[in-house]
Amino acid sequence: MTRPLDIAGMVCPSNVFLAPLAGYTNHPFRTMCMRLGAGLTFTEMVSAKGLAYGSEETKKLLYCGDETPKAVQIFGSDPALMRAACESAELAPFDLVDINMGCPMPKIVKNGDGSALMENMPLAEKIVAACAKSGKRISVKFRTGTDEAHKVTAEFARMCEGAGACMITVHGRTRDKLYAGAPDYAEIAAAKRAVRIPVIANGGVWNKQDFDAMLARTGADGVMIARAALCRPQVFSEIAEREAPPVGELFSRQLAETAALCGERFAVVFMRKMAAFYCKGRPGAAEYKRRLFAAQTVQEVSRLASEIFAPS
């Protein structure tokens, strides 16, 4: 069963969170997941350097409404730039700033960002401390290590707490595993034992059974959902043990809200991807995807979705 979670005075209505997902966790998707039961949602990861340079594309990722609480994730490896991002007007609306120290993608790692910081703990500590000096609530998302021979979960967790983080999220896989394999429950549990701040467990949670098992085996204070939310956002309602609207109704509202906020062209491209996720496993999914990716207008996407997601 879910429960409220207090993070340095910020009370989340439930302890199941939506992970930051590059290319997906825009405002309409985040608000849909909150309506379904997510207690906290995160923006796509935002470049501190992009904010410093006034990038308009970076600023678009930060759109938010009056939902509360709300969190932003930033990445970078310059302590001064990271603190400046936390103190910026663009991040002022957010209740919590999460620092990405877990992204395994080569283009992020080669710049010394994301999970590269797990190999440079002194620099990682300076970044967390600098961000904490901004006065914002700071959390850190990281992995268990770079590979099986270099796991640093508990040590890294203690560093984050000591530097001023008020929450950590542990993705229970090493960097070299990317998103494959079962999460390492023992390492997440080690992080939980190492600190007093809330610990959120991430990795391999696709349903309520996985949620319950993750909490039971790690002692974590909450769980963060990532890929499961793309395929089946109703997972939040399932975990919260409440009814969810039919997928067709969810899709129609998400499509309308995305078009209103981002314009037709973005909405068509984005919602074609979402529809492809939502129809996985359905009879005729391959043909539906082919037709979806040929659609060029919101009306076409909507008409196809009505067919795909019609009640059986």
Q: Are strands 96-101 and 137-143 parallel, antiparallel or unpaired?
A: parallel
Active site residue 103: yes
Which residue is associated with the tokens 């440079």?
120
CB 278 within 8 A of CB 231: yes
Other Cβ atoms less than 10 A from the Cβ of 211: the count is 25
CB 275 within 8 A of CB 250: no
Q: What number of helices (H) and strands (E) belong to the chain?
A: 15, 10
Catalytic residue among 12, 33, 86, 103: 103
Using left for φ > 0, alpha for ψ between -120 and 50, and beta otherwise, residue 225 falls in beta
Using left for φ > 0, alpha for ψ between -120 and 50, and beta otherwise, residue 284 falls in left
Least Cα distance to 94 among 24, 38, 10 occurs for 10
Phi, psi angle pair for 107, to nearest 5°: -65, -25
CB 228 within 8 A of CB 202: no
CB 109 within 8 A of CB 143: no
Q: What is the rounded CA–CA span in Å between residue 26 and residue 44?
A: 7
CB 197 within 8 A of CB 165: yes
Length of the chain: 312
> Active-site residues: which are they?
103
